Amino acid sequence: MGVKNILKRIFTKEKKVVITGLDSSGKTTLVSFLQNGTFIEHTPTMGKELTTMEVQGIRINIMDMGGQKDFRELWLHEMSDAECVIFMIDAYARERFNEAKDELWKLSSVLKKKALIILANKCDLQPIAQISEIIEALNLSKVSSFEILPISCKTGYGIVPAFMKIYYKLTGKQLTKKLNIRGITVFNQGGIPLTSSDNQQILQGGLFSAINSFVQESFNSELNQLKMGENLIIFKRSKHLLGSIIVNETDNVNLKEAEEGLNELLCHLEHMCPELEEEELDQLKIEYLVKQYASNLL
């Protein structure tokens, strides 16, 4: 090990998270989404797989545990030195809730000493179990301390809020989103708005009309920002779409991070909507995907 690596270990705190749960619950997909900002199909994890992320000087070692029956006996050993345990459950697969409960309670001796976060995945499907139903099905009322959060590792819904909760459990510090986005709009190649975020109070009246007019007149221009009063509108283009976000200049927003957030949204839409390559556009699908993903930005 070189000097630089030694010093880096000294000055970077390390924390360990173990992700457990039944096979096909979405554990590896969650880790992948955190890394890539979009949904990617994965083959089942064989045994375990380590991923390292560095967040604000904290090195987070994420141990993704295989969920097949042959690998579940490995879970307890990996949890022994972890600060936080994540148990993933497929909220759509009610027929597997009893199996999930049995596996979770096999970990009870260790969970008494560890922070436990239950992630109810696949909230993009219907009908899914409500949080109260999952609590009852897993008998969580008898667990001394836990938190349960709904997410979708396919659409991205709730991923950032869930990670912020994990970070707090690991460090005792709040990981706040630096972006304070007041509105998001996505346009087609003709400059027609396809969807806007739920934050509608800022996207009413003259401001929204002005953004629409500007986009239709200069969709292919290189201009990436438009200032209107205290509002700064940032534009970003992908192959088939254009997006805009509104921030307030007085909020001292990191514009580079705002642009990156918008770019990740557009890349996610392009990835999830391959029909755009055929010049086909499903507006309802894009509206749904923007609403889901915006939970990480607004």
Structure token pair of residue 220: 């292919």
* Residues sharing a CB contact under 8 Å with residue 201, sequence separation 6 or more, in sequence order: none
More confident residue, 119 or 254: 119
Q: What does residue 223 show for φ and ψ, rounded to 5 degrees?
A: -70, 125
pLDDT score of 11 more than 70 = no
Q: pLDDT tens for residues 42-80?
A: 888 999 999 999 988 889 999 999 999 999 999 999 999
Bridge partner residues of 15 (DSSP)? 60
**The pLDDT of residue 198 is above 60:** no
CATH topology of domain 8-171: Rossmann fold (3.40.50)
Residues 6+ positions from 15 with CB-CB distance below 8 Å: 58, 59, 60, 61, 83, 84, 170, 171
Q: What is the mean pLDDT of residues 80-94?
A: 96
Classified as helix, coil or strand, 84 is: strand
Angle at Cα 277 formed by Cα 275 and Cα 282, nearest 5°?
35
Give the pLDDT band (50/70/90) at residue 269. very high
Neighbouring-strand partners of residue 226: 233
Residue 98 tokens, joined? 């009893």
- How confident is residue 233, by pLDDT bands cut at 50, 70 and 90? confident
Domain boundaries, the chain: 8-171, 181-296
Q: What is the CATH number of domain 181-296?
A: 3.30.450.60
Q: What mean pLDDT is reported for the chain?
A: 87
For residue range 102-148, list pLDDT tens digits in order: 999 999 989 888 999 999 999 999 999 999 999 999 999 999 889 99
Whether the CB-CB separation of 150 and 120 falls below 8 Å is answered with yes
Percent share of the chain, pLDDT over 70: 86
**Mean per-residue pLDDT, 67-96:** 96
Token code pair at residue 140: 């969580």
Three-state DSSP class for residue 28: helix
- The span from the CA of 141 to the CA of 1, in Å, is 47
Average pLDDT over residues 274-292: 93
> Is pLDDT at 249 greater than 90 in this prediction?
no
- Residue 223 pLDDT class (50, 70, 90 cuts): low
Residues in CB range of 41: below 8 A, 6 or more apart: 29
Torsion of CA 20, 21, 23, 25, to 10 degrees: -110
Overall average pLDDT of the 143-168 stretch: 94
Weakest-pLDDT range from 26-35, 51-60, 246-255, 266-275: 246-255
